A and B are shown apart, each in its own frame.
Chain A
């Protein structure tokens, strides 16, 4: 009885996994076969890399990759640099207005910049930043999520460690750098993963704010590329899909244990 239940559970888990990975399987199948096999599944069909060649040549993917890489790194670095001191102040310092300001910060957890397309577009137009990578990044640089997470972990750092460093004559920033940041490493990794996958895949705001090849991230480039007046071509679309998501997929494959562990230790649970 018990074994039967367990087998059923395992079967269920596997079925679910199969459904979940199906789009990826289809993408792999279609991308490596000639267009004629996009809707016909024949195990003897010859393999080809032509779809990747076609996709690569049909749109400036190299440039899109560069744009996305710049965008994602810019956001990640600035988020770390800005959120760390802010989170520290909210976690360990007493100052008038702290709770009010922290409340205002937390508001962004619910009201994300994505919703404020119209208002932010106007701000960018006034700043003369429309169609720039900076404009895609700006609304996300001050991140409530980052401040919130880091504040949580900083608060769990034993006060004695901080005091010891103070006695040794460490400055405020010195203590932050030498005591708090190292202890918060898992949080940085977990938050970094969330931030990277979010902005690598973000679409609507970049779509609105970019116009040209030199600023478009991969997602927008892909959408422009796939929107079709002649008819949808799944071979080339799946090839470009695999190309654009390959870096993230490979990274997760290699580091999936570390990711889960950092989430665990980061206290995001």
Chain B
């Protein structure tokens, strides 16, 4: 005999939970299973191969390139976009001349589809007569084949990602800043504390929950945001901009090697799982969070 509250509660959560499990947990499980079989081809059915796909992945130099690229991409985009977001929020939280305009400017990237702005960035990065080269030319700079040069292609992708994300994160910081009690600031003004001291000892700690939230999103996006790679570089030149999810897409939908795509996905899932554990488990404990 179930308690009334129990079956009521289950009735309330079940529709959402079923959908969630069906399209998150279930595909995750089938992906793990798929990674243990070969890719079915024509009339050849899939064959169980144990960990062979993982061994193949280990030997695949492109995988290591993608992993390294993604690490660079994450370590650059996450701090850059979070710090910029905080600075933006601090800026538009003061009595800045033209504040609505500035706030609007910061937020526009969030509203523009990445797929569309990627084409605009393509123009900015065009060698010789593109925007950046022209600006640099004014200062006597030379020609840059931004996207065609393996050394600058990934930094260019990072710049686009930071541009896209910072404004979105700013909104969260802004909301948090505006919710902070104004008497704190007044008190510190009375005590003659420096702005930097106040920021470091009062504002920043109070913003910790927001930072955690933004950080989680930034980490996810570092592995999720590949739209601009699809449009701008296709992972080139020579895999300089291949990120893990892009490689999964390429493996699964350009080479139709579903087994390897599944294997790659498992690696990415493991990576995300570890990061989640680190963030919520380790960082989360140090944050005052409801």
Q: Which of B67-75, B120-128, B184-192 contacts A (4 or more CB under 8 A)?
A: B120-128
The answer, yes or no, to whether A174 is at the interface (CB within 8 Å) is no
Identify which of B48-56, B138-146, B150-158, B269-277 touches chain A: B269-277
Q: How far is the CB of A185 from chain B (nearest CB, A)?
A: 15
Which residues of chain B (64-84) have a CB below 8 Å from chain A?
Answer: 84
CB distance from A51 to the nearest CB of B (A): 14
A263 B224 Cβ-Cβ under 8 A: no
- Nearest chain B residue, comparing its CB with the CB of A92: B9
A23 touches B272 (CB 8 A): no
Interface string of B219-249 (1 = CB under 8 A from A): 1100110110011000000000000010011
- Point out the residue from A18, A122, A138 that lies within 8 Å of B30, measured CB to CB: A122
Determine whether the beta carbon of A105 is less than 8 Å from that of B115: no
Pick from A113, A115, A260: contact of B269, CB below 8 A.
A115
Using known A-B contacts A252-B104, A263-B175, determine if residue A218 contacts B24 with beta carbons closer than 8 Å. no
Q: B102 in the interface, Cβ–Cβ < 8 Å?
A: yes
Given A119-B34, A263-B175, A241-B119 contact (CB < 8 Å): yes
Give the dominant DSSP class at B's interface: helix
Q: Are A256 and B100 in contact (CB under 8 A)?
A: yes
Chain A: interface secondary structure?
Answer: helix
* Residue among B16, B22, B227 facing the most chain A CB atoms (10 A cut-off): B16
**A200→B16 contact, CB < 8 A:** no
List of A residues within 8 angstroms of B161 by Cβ? none
B261: chain A residues at CB < 8 Å are 117-118
> Are the C-beta atoms of B172 and A142 separated by less than 8 Å?
no
Count of CB-CB pairs between chains A and B under 8 Å: 297
Interface string of B87-122 (1 = CB under 8 A from A): 110011000111011111111111111111101111
Residue among A95, A116, A248 with the most chain B CB within 10 A? A116
Identify B171's interface contact among A118, A204, A237, A260, CB under 8 A: A260
CA distance A113 to B156 in the complex (A): 27
Kindly supply a per-residue 1/0 record for chain A positions 134-159, scoring 1 wherever the CB is within 8 Å of any chain B CB and 0 otherwise: 00001111111001000010010000
Q: Within the complex, which residue of B84, B113, B273 is in contact with A245, where a contact is CB–CB below 8 Å? A: B113
B154 CB to nearest A CB, Å: 19
CB distance A219 to B115 under 8 Å? yes
Q: A67 an interface residue at 8 Å Cβ cutoff?
A: no
In which size bucket is the chain A interface? Answer: 35 or more
- A240–B8 Cα distance when bound, in Å, is 49
From residue A43, how far is it (CB to closest CB) to chain B in Å? 16
List, in ascending order, chain B residues with CB within 8 A of A108's CB: 20, 24
Flag whether B5 is at the interface (Cβ < 8 A): yes
Q: Given A23-B121, A260-B175, A260-B178, A105–B276 Cβ distance below 8 Å?
A: no
Q: A16 is contacted by which of B88, B220, B249 (Cβ under 8 Å)? A: B88
Of B12, B116, B249, the residue contacting A241 (CB under 8 A) is B116
Which chain A residues border B101 with CB–CB below 8 Å?
17
Q: How far apart are A250's CB and chain B's nearest CB, in angstroms?
A: 9
Of the residues A9, A85, A234, contact of B13 by C-beta under 8 Å: A85
Check A86/B119 contact, CB under 8 A, given A115-B272, A249-B108, A260-B175: no
Residue among B107, B176, B178 facing the most chain A CB atoms (10 A cut-off): B107
> Quick check: A226 and B119 within 8 Å, CB to CB?
yes
User: In the complex, which residues of chain B have a beta carbon less than 8 angstroms from the beta carbon of A114?
Assistant: 224, 245
The answer to whether B111 touches A248 (Cβ under 8 A) is yes
Taking a contact as CB atoms under 8 Å apart, the answer to whether B17 and A138 are in contact is no
List residues of chain A with CB under 8 Å of any chain B CB.
Answer: 9-10, 12-14, 16-24, 26-27, 38-39, 82-83, 85-86, 88-90, 93-96, 98, 101, 104-105, 107-123, 138-144, 147, 152, 155, 172, 197, 200-201, 203-204, 207-208, 218-220, 222-223, 226, 232, 234, 237-238, 240-241, 244-245, 248-249, 252-253, 256, 259-261, 263-266, 268-269
- Residues of B at the A interface (CB closer than 8 Å) are 3, 5-6, 8-10, 12-13, 15-28, 30-31, 34, 84, 87-88, 91-92, 96-98, 100-117, 119-124, 129, 131, 163, 166-167, 171-176, 178-179, 209-210, 213, 216, 219-220, 223-224, 226-227, 230-231, 245, 248-249, 252-253, 258, 261-262, 265, 268-269, 272-273, 275-276, 290
Q: Can you show 9 pairs from A to B with CB atoms below 8 A apart?
A: A12-B91, A13-B91, A85-B16, A90-B13, A110-B216, A208-B249, A223-B231, A234-B119, A241-B120
